Structure 1
Amino acid sequence: MLFLVLSILLSVALLLNFRLFPRFGVNTFQAIVVNYLVCFLTGYALLPAGQSFSIDFSATWTWLALGLGVGFIVTFLLSGASTQRIGITATSLANNLSLVIPVSFSLFVFGSAGRPFDALNYAGLVLAVVAVGLSTYKKEQGVGDKGVRAGADVLLPVAVFVLYGATNAMINYMNLRYIPSADKTIQVTLTMVLGAIVTGLLMLAIRLVRGQETFQAKSLVAAVTLGIPNFLSFYTLLLALSAYGGNGAFVYPIYNIGVILLAALVAALFFQEKLSTANKIGLALAVVAIGLISWQELV
């Protein structure tokens, strides 16, 4: 449970970074690209004594990990486009509701629940989806919430939902098939980060050449505050999955709901964000959902 709690805390630290970036005029795209370099250095520093990082291109998991790195950045870019064109509400719901994909794969494809799910557990999963929807709902008056949504733009939140859920499901699959120990976890995670580095730097280089970006030195500082918790949140999530035998059906709902609950508390205390009645009901249901999903481990 320690690794799961740490992953939740570190994930909220990421949200705090993104919330503060506009206040300090940080270029978010540049900070995200450079943060993967920081992620790699952080992971390299955590390599067990006597181990070194190397890439075996003949191994299946290497290509899966590199592909996941590409998926991380692509999903982020789609989230940004969806937020701008469709709205925050639809994008936020797409991100959080995507937990049903890795949970479903864990239960019905990977068979990694670790224990039989009973009626209370399934009720908790359903309640978790409802809780996520209510706790992230915000009524907006932006462009994305108007009645007319043109063309393919309406598919953006759908793409976010599918890709975010698919990457989490693939992470769970790799954890089950290719990460038998904590030592291997670092190697696999570094390979994923390397895929994100190559993709991000290529995107940044193209934008700089085209004159779409002007590099900012403050992005380097922001990348450090973003990169360290970014790597550690992902690493501790993998360790949590390992600790629970790859049981994504247990880990992912608690992780997602835990992030929502803590982020809501931090937002209310430090940013004076107000919660609607729907948000408050959602947060209350989230607590009940956690209890139902994990009651075997809590009693």
Structure 2
Amino acid sequence: MLFLALSILLSVLLLLNFRIFPRYQVDTFQAIVFNYPVCFLTGLLLLPAGQSFTIDFSQTWTWLAFGLGVGFILTFMLSGASTQRMGITATSLANNLSLVVPVCFSLFVFKTGGKVFDALNYFGLVLAVVAVGLSTYKPESASDPSAKRGRLGANVLLPIGVFLFYGATNTMINYMNLHYIPSTDKTIQVTLTMVIGAIVAGLLMLIIRLIQGKERIHPRNLVGAVSLGIPNFLSFYTLVMALSAFGGNGAFVYPLYNIGVILLAALMAALFLKESLSTANKLGLGLAIVAISLISWQELASLRV
């Protein structure tokens, strides 16, 4: 549970970074592109003694890791387009509700044996989906420039794409954890390979935008990349370690991770950013606590023994 708790905390730090970027005029796109080299350097510092990072192109997992890294960047770009054309609410819900994809794959395809689900656990999963939807719901103001009218046509596919891409990347993380990370000391090696895929894809996008005259690099964006990159790598690393600790059981880890991030983020936003919650949000947070209890009731019961 320690790795899961650390991953939740570090993920909330990521959200806080994004929240304060506009205050310091940090360009989010550039910060994300440059945060991946920072991630790579962070991972190198965490390599176990005696290990060095190498890339073996003869291994299947190397290419899967590259593809996953590219998926990270593409998912971000898709989220940005969906936010601009379909609004914040639809995109946020699609992002958070995507947890059902890795959960279903973990239960019915991978059939991980780290935890046997009973009726209470399954009911907790259903409540988790409802809780995520309610706790992330934000009514859009008519003056919100991100809330566009005339949302029919191809734009409707954008939040669906966000749902599928987030679900696919999380499912692939779980799959690689089950089949291509033989021991925890290899976790950083695999993670660094994923980061390289993200670095290559991100820099290519940035170069194209620079050539088109759509971007100008500012030092403040590099500072933002450092504050983003360190918790980004550590949050991903601890999430993979949490999956390993629970036998690759994404059906257990991902719901707790998602609603844990939502609960902690809501608390931090209320305390430090003075953000208010709607009745639906408060109901969602309450259901999230119930969902956590139901999903992990066996683990909670064992703590009392």
Q: Which bin holds the TM-score, normalised by the shorter protein?
A: over 0.9
Aligned residue for 2:122? 122
Q: CA deviation at 1:146?
A: 5.9
Structure-2 residue corresponding to 1:139: 139
TM-score, structure 2 length as denominator? 0.96
Which residue of the other structure, out of 268, 271, 274, is the alignment partner of 1:269?
271
Q: Which amino acid aligns with 2:174?
A: N
CA offsets, 1:147-206, max 9 Å, x none?
A: 631421111000000000000000000000011212110000000000000000111011
Q: Alignment RMSD, CA only? A: 1.0
What SS does structure 2 have at the residue aligned with 1:245? coil
Partner in structure 1 of residue 262 of structure 2:
260
> Structure 1: where are the runs of 5+ without partners?
none
Q: Name which of 286, 291, 294 aligns with 2:288.
A: 286
Asked whether the equivalents of residues 209 and 215 of structure 2 are also in contact (C-alpha less than 8 Å), the reply is yes
Give the aligned length. Answer: 299
Q: Distance in 2 between matches of 1:134 and 1:143?
A: 23
What is the identity, as a one-letter code, of the residue corresponding to 1:39? C
Q: Larger deviation: 135-144 or 206-215?
A: 135-144
Distance in 2 separating the partners of 1:134 and 1:146? 22
Task: Determine if contact 1:86/1:143 at 8 Å carries over to the other structure.
Answer: no
* Pair 1:146–1:208, CA change in 2 (3 A): closer
Q: Which residue of 2 aligns with 1:202?
A: 204
Partner of 2:156: 154
The residue identity in structure 1 corresponding to 2:238 is T
Report the 3-state secondary structure (helix = DSSP H, G, I; strand = E; otherwise coil) of the residue aligned with 1:168.
helix
**Aligned with residue 236 of structure 1, among 226, 235, 238:** 238
TM-score by length of 1: 0.98
Asked whether the 8 Å contact 2:4–2:257 carries over to 1, the reply is yes
Shift of 1:43: 0.2
Return the offset for 1:116. Answer: 2.1
Q: 1:28 & 1:160 partners in 2: Cα distance?
A: 18
Partner of 1:171: 173
Q: What SS is found at the alignment partner of 1:179?
A: coil
Once the 2 structures are TM-superposed, how far is the Cα of residue 210 of structure 1 from its aligned partner?
1.1
- Is contact 1:10–1:232 with CA below 8 Å preserved after alignment? yes
Do the aligned residues in 2 keep the contact of 1:267 with 1:273 (CA within 8 Å)?
yes
- Correspondence for 1:49: 49
Correspondence for 1:212: 214
Residue aligning to 2:248 = 246
In the alignment, residue 156 of structure 1 is paired with which amino acid? L
Q: Is the 8 A contact 2:83 2:91 kept in 1?
A: yes
Q: How many angstroms apart in 2 are the aligned matches of 1:49 and 1:77?
A: 36
Aligned in 2, Cα 1:61/1:9: closer, same or farther, shift over 3 Å? same
* Aligned residue in 2 for 1:11: 11
Question: Corresponding residue for 1:83?
Answer: 83
- Segments of 4+ in structure 1 off by > 4 A? 143-147
Match of 2:224 in 1: 222
Deviation per CA, 1:238-265, whole angstroms, max 9, x where unpaired?
A: 0000001101111000000000000001
In structure 1, give the amino acid aligned to 2:7.
Answer: S
Distance 1:143 1:97 in 2: 24
1:71 and 1:29 mapped to 2: Cα distance? 15
1:63 alignment partner in structure 2 = 63
Asked if the contact 1:113/1:248 (under 8 Å) is kept, the reply is no
Identity %: 77
Q: CA deviation at 1:114?
A: 1.9
User: Are the counterparts in 1 of residues 106 and 249 from structure 2 also a CA contact under 8 Å?
Assistant: yes
| Structure 2: gaps (5+ residues) | none
Aligned partners of 2:87 and 2:148 also within 8 Å: no
Aligned to 1:39: 39
Q: Write out per-residue CA displacement over residues 94-148 of structure 1, whole angstroms, 9 at most, x where no aligned residue.
A: 0000000000000000001423211100000000000000000011023665663
